């Protein structure tokens, strides 16, 4: 991958911090020649045998993933600068804040608003999954609003994202099938279904303001997840439709192969409203006028 050799400072003026990720700081920046605003993600390189900083191979993996996606609901990568201490990703700027903040201000959202956000997340995730990319870190902090007065969202932070071809390699490393022990065979490699579970958690939180599996400790949370220990608490869900709960139930399935795919979700009636009779009548009326 060709990285720019002239310095980032030559072309951009860095501004305020607007976020941070793994070993990274994100700052708003302005392109000197055009005045266009971007987000610059400064990723610290791991030097020598140190622990701090990201490994170059991880940074290159994130860049290569970002370079092969292009979708209105996914952050886009503009250019990359490589310096001695850090790699700088110049990304599209989204300045509407995290979905996480938006929810906490509003407690819980209406079903229409929640369904509209989830539909956009599904559209973005569909683009990733169609390109065999699994995000692996879908959470409200990694979903940002385009700007303060819009409800357009973008997925950001692909620091943990993987291309599924890597997984196939891993399965190849598992050795010759006939000699593999059952616990190794049933070890489910990370799959696209991993993202779908996360979408279930995000949906539950958008509708109720509460987290379905969260316990008092990380260990308790893990127990709740593996035991599928969740319910639709009446106080939180008495205004929520059966359809929304059915959408979530189809994602909280232990067996990844049985869990809803992104396509199942986009076709679920909670997301894809059934076209009502008037809409059908209007459409055929238009067709008659045209003929």
Tokens in use for 258? 């049985």
Q: Are 74 and 127 in contact (CB under 8 A)?
A: yes
Q: Which is nearer to ligand Cc1ccnnc1, 43 or 192 (CB)?
A: 43
Element containing residue 29 per DSSP (H, E):
strand 24-31
Q: Are 207 and 244 in contact (CB under 8 A)?
A: yes
Residue 160 CB partners (closer than 8 Å, separation 6+): 135, 136, 137
Phi-psi region of 209 (alpha: psi -120 to 50; beta: other; left: phi over 0): left
- What whole-number distance in Å separates Cα of residue 231 and Cα of residue 225? 12
In the chain, the N- to C-terminal Cα span, in Å, equals: 53
Q: C-beta of 285: minimal distance to ligand Cc1ccnnc1 in Å? A: 44
**The CA-based dihedral angle spanning residues 40, 126, 187, 182, taken in that order and rounded to the nearest 10 degrees:** -160
Which residues are annotated as catalytic? 137
Residue numbers at the binding site for ligand Cc1ccnnc1 (CB under 6 A): 18-19, 26, 39, 75, 91-94, 144, 156
């Amino acid at each position: 991958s060709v990285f720019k050799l002239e310095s980032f400072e030559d072309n951009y003026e860095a501004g305020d911090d607007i976020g941070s990720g793994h070993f990274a700081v994100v700052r708003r920046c302005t392109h000197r020649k055009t005045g266009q605003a971007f987000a610059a993600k400064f990723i610290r390189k791991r030097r020598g045998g140190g622990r701090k900083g990201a490994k170059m191979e991880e940074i290159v993996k994130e860049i290569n993933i970002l370079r092969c996606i292009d979708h209105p609901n996914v952050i886009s990568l503009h250019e990359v600068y490589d310096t001695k201490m850090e790699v700088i990703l110049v990304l599209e700027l989204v300045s509407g804040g995290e979905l996480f903040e938006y929810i906490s201000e509003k407690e819980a959202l209406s079903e229409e608003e929640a369904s509209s956000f989830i539909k956009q997340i599904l559209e973005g995730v569909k683009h990733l999954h169609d390109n065999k990319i699994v995000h692996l870190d879908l959470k409200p902090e990694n979903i940002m609003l385009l700007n303060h007065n819009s409800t357009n969202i973008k997925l950001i932070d692909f620091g943990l994202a993987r291309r599924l071809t890597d997984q196939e390699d891993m399965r190849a490393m598992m050795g010759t099938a006939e000699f593999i022990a059952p616990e190794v065979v049933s070890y489910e490699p990370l799959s696209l279904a991993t993202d779908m579970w996360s979408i279930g958690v995000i949906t539950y939180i958008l509708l109720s303001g509460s987290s379905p599996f969260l316990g008092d400790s990380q260990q308790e949370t893990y127990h709740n997840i593996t035991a599928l220990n969740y319910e639709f608490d009446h106080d939180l869900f008495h205004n929520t439709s059966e359809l929304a709960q059915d959408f979530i139930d189809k994602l909280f399935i232990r067996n990844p192969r049985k869990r809803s795919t992104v396509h199942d979700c986009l076709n679920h009636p909670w997301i894809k409203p059934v076209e009502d009779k008037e809409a059908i009548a209007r459409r055929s009326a238009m067709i008659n006028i045209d003929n």
